[in-house]
Structure 1
Amino acid sequence: PVSMPMPVPEKISYSPNSLWRTGARAFFEDQRARRVGDILTVIVEISDKAEIENNTTRNRDNSESANVAKFAGVEEILKAILPKEVDLNELIAATSKSKSDGGGEIDREEKITTKIAAVVTQVLPNGNMAIEGRQEIRVNYEMRELIVAGVVRPEDITSRNTIPISKIAEARVSYGGKGQISDVQQPRYGQQILDILLPF
């Protein structure tokens, strides 16, 4: 079911000696959205391209050694505890060496061009408006969903009651789908669990 925010009732006022009611719509064309519940069209034009390449090489050599040939009489206690084969002059000797090479490359290009109607859900004290629009398209067993939300200025709304996505502050655009095709594109649950559990 579709639900919309309840607009705030406006007090009807009249001007003396005038047929025009304050806050009424224009005679010949619709005004721009300005109240809770009004609808405007959001023009979504997103063209994003990113190319990132990273290479990392790390080497580390470490060597540690320790002995207790003479240390406040502790060597006598160690001789009594440790086997006779243990040489206190070479009690600890350790070396370590590690090396790792990593590389990554991202080449991504996205393009979305569409229009969606959004509803004014809140009018802020400074006059800006919070809007939200949702569009669902079902084709056979595949569902496509587009969600747009953000904050707009009344000055950025055109005379055709439209606004480009670039003029929306705190913009949230979600475009995705679910269905048989989307399920096939996703890895199986068993593979996802193994990807989480296996460290390598």
Structure 2
Amino acid sequence: MKKYLALIAIPALLAGCATPYPEPHVEMAATPVVNLPPVQPMAASNGSIYQAASYRPLFEDHRARLVGDTLTINITERVSASQTSTSELSKTGSLSAGITAVPGISPKAFGRASAEATSANDNKGKGSNQNTNEFTGAITAVVTGVLPNGHLMISGEKQIGVNRNVDVLRFSGQVDPRMIGQGNAVASTSVANVRIEQRGRGATADAHAVGWLSRFFLNLAPS
């Protein structure tokens, strides 16, 4: 009986060792970052030609305005940061002392009595740090809400599966309608509160992942 309990306990311990290392995730916020007042509902149709809930300019190419409209996002994110620091410290000191006379003792006895000391300290340091990230692509997002100031809350997701591998691209943010250009498209650099996530699922993603045993020891190793 003890032998069977040991066989059951070993897989349980191995499964527990597979989760100590946290996996990072991008927070895909569906609501604005700032607290905004609630949106007042549009008035119901009253039979007139102009309807505020579904108004679209007559002489304008199609652009996203209402909840459910689509909008093309051209992702052109490029972030580059560099930092360089240099420090230098130099310090030099000297000390000299001597005895020429002492009451009751002949001055000749101290002809060679002297003491000298010198000290020097030199410290130099130099550091450099550089980081560059680039992300390009395109995705069509859906308007999920319209703020009181007319800004659009958008969210989109794209999944592509090839040979048991799935690539997932998610995008969300806040768009000013004035930044929407021709073709109902806007650059990601003109979107506020951007959240971008690209992940993979399948054998290719697992090949780049750190094994559970390595994660266990990395979690225990001192930083």
TM-score over 0.5 for the pair? yes
Asked if residue 111 in structure 1 is aligned to residue 134 in structure 2, the reply is yes
| Matching residue of 1:62 | none
Compared CA separation, residues 195 and 181, structure 1 to 2 (3 A): same
| Amino acid corresponding to residue 39 of structure 1 in structure 2 | T
Whichever structure has more strand as a proportion of its residues is 1
| Matching residue of 1:153 | 176
| Amino acid corresponding to residue 32 of structure 1 in structure 2 | R
Query: What TM-score do you get using the length of structure 1 for normalisation?
Result: 0.60
Instruction: Give yes or no for contact 1:13–1:21 (8 Å, CA) kept in 2.
Output: no
Unpaired segments ≥5 residues, structure 1: 1-7, 56-102
| Matching residue of 1:169 | 192
Instruction: Give yes or no for contact 1:128–1:151 (8 Å, CA) kept in 2.
Output: yes
Offset of residue 178 of structure 1: 1.7
| Matching residue of 1:31 | 62
Unpaired segments ≥5 residues, structure 2: 1-40, 87-125
Offset of residue 49 of structure 1: 3.7
| Matching residue of 2:72 | 41
Compared CA separation, residues 14 and 30, structure 1 to 2 (3 A): farther
| Matching residue of 1:136 | 159
Query: What TM-score do you get using the length of structure 2 for normalisation?
Result: 0.54
| Amino acid corresponding to residue 76 of structure 2 in structure 1 | E
Offset of residue 53 of structure 1: 6.8
Tell me, in whole angstroms, the C-alpha distance in 1 between the residues paired with 2:208 and 2:129: 20
Corresponding pairs, count: 144
Structure 1 stretch displaced more, 21-30 or 132-141: 21-30
Q: Which runs of 4+ in 1 moved over 6 A?
A: 26-29
| Amino acid corresponding to residue 157 of structure 1 in structure 2 | I
Tell me, in whole angstroms, the C-alpha distance in 1 between the residues paired with 2:129 and 2:168: 26
RMSD: 3.1
SS in 2 for 1:163: strand
